[in-house]
A and B are shown apart, each in its own frame.
Chain A
Amino acid sequence: MVYLTRKAEFAASHYYHNPNFTAEENQRIFGKCNNSNGHGHNYTLEVTVKGEINPQSGFVVDLKELKEVLNREVLDAMDHRFLNKEVPEFFEKVPTTENLAVVVWQRLAPKLKAAQLHRVRVYETPDLFADFYGEA
């Protein structure tokens, strides 16, 4: 089994808010992240796939295909967007780094053919990242 990681960057804005909480609860739980005008990050995404090396091509996965899927399913939808208002998953879900990792996984997993998704890592800043391994 060989693991291969592709990195990508996107910039997006978001804010943390749960409509089921009161204004005070939202403020207490989410702090500055609750400002409804939003704020932004340069996100770095790492997508790790695993598989056996194809003896003919020497590839685990065709990197070009992985890049195309990543661009189409994730970057085109999220880069330079306000996540709460423009990415349907976040109309209901709070766009935390953890949820972003889950959503990226859910967008990629059904589209990848040869390789199996191993891990999605989303860096919100260089000092904070979330990992999702597809676990229930």
Chain B
Amino acid sequence: MKAHLTRRYRFSASHRLHNQEMSAEENRAAYGKCNNPYGHGHNYFLEVTVSGQLDDSTGMVCNLADLDGFVKAEILEKFDLQNLNTMQEFADFVPTTENLCVALYQILQRGFIKAHLEKIRIEETMMNSFEYAGGGEIRH
């Protein structure tokens, strides 16, 4: 039996949406108040979905302790209470939540080997959310 397991995490970070290659006017036009010079912050929710065959002896897709441990060490401890613009992941990318999705997906894809990474979803606010599955279609 193949099942999907989704775990929800939270972290807080600040960012400013600004592209160095665009003029001040272009940045303002593209990003609006997200371009305010000193940045602003969000309480992000991250949902990680993994999938796989259920292990008959444990009834699990993967041990939640392994997923929690990985996300805590590789994502939450690195991103929580940080300014995203100062992070290596965003040296060349504007820290939109789209790009944040791609960055966090890649961290999981590279390092988490206990189950298949299906997709991630990030809520930037209660009113918007973003999903990424490595570029593929997402089944809901």
Q: CB within 8 Å of B: which residues of A?
A: 16, 18, 20-21, 29-31, 93-99, 101-102, 126-133, 135-136
Q: Are B57 and A21 neighbours in the complex by a CB distance under 8 Å?
A: yes
User: With A126-B8, A127-B8 in contact, is A94–B3 under 8 Å at CB?
Assistant: no
Interchain residue pairs with CB less than 8 A apart (8): A98-B3, A102-B3, A126-B8, A128-B5, A129-B5, A132-B1, A133-B4, A135-B3
How many A-B contacts if CB must be within 8 Å? Answer: 63
Q: What residues of B have a CB within 8 angstroms of the CB of A102 in the complex?
A: 1, 3, 54
State the CA gap A29–B49 with chains docked (Å).
21
- Chain B residues, CB < 8 A from A98: 3, 5, 54, 59-61
* Cβ contact within 8 Å between A99 and B59: yes
Which chain B residues have a beta carbon within 8 Å of chain A's beta carbons? 1-9, 49, 54, 57-61, 63-65, 139
A94 and B59 contact, Cβ closer than 8 Å, known pairs A31-B65, A99-B54, A102-B54: yes
CB–CB B4/A93 < 8 A: no
CA distance A7 to B101 in the complex (A): 28
Contact of B8 among A31, A93, A128, A132 (CB under 8 A): A128
In the complex, are the beta carbons of B59 and A132 less than 8 A apart? no
Residues of A within 8 A of B1 (CB): 102, 132, 135-136
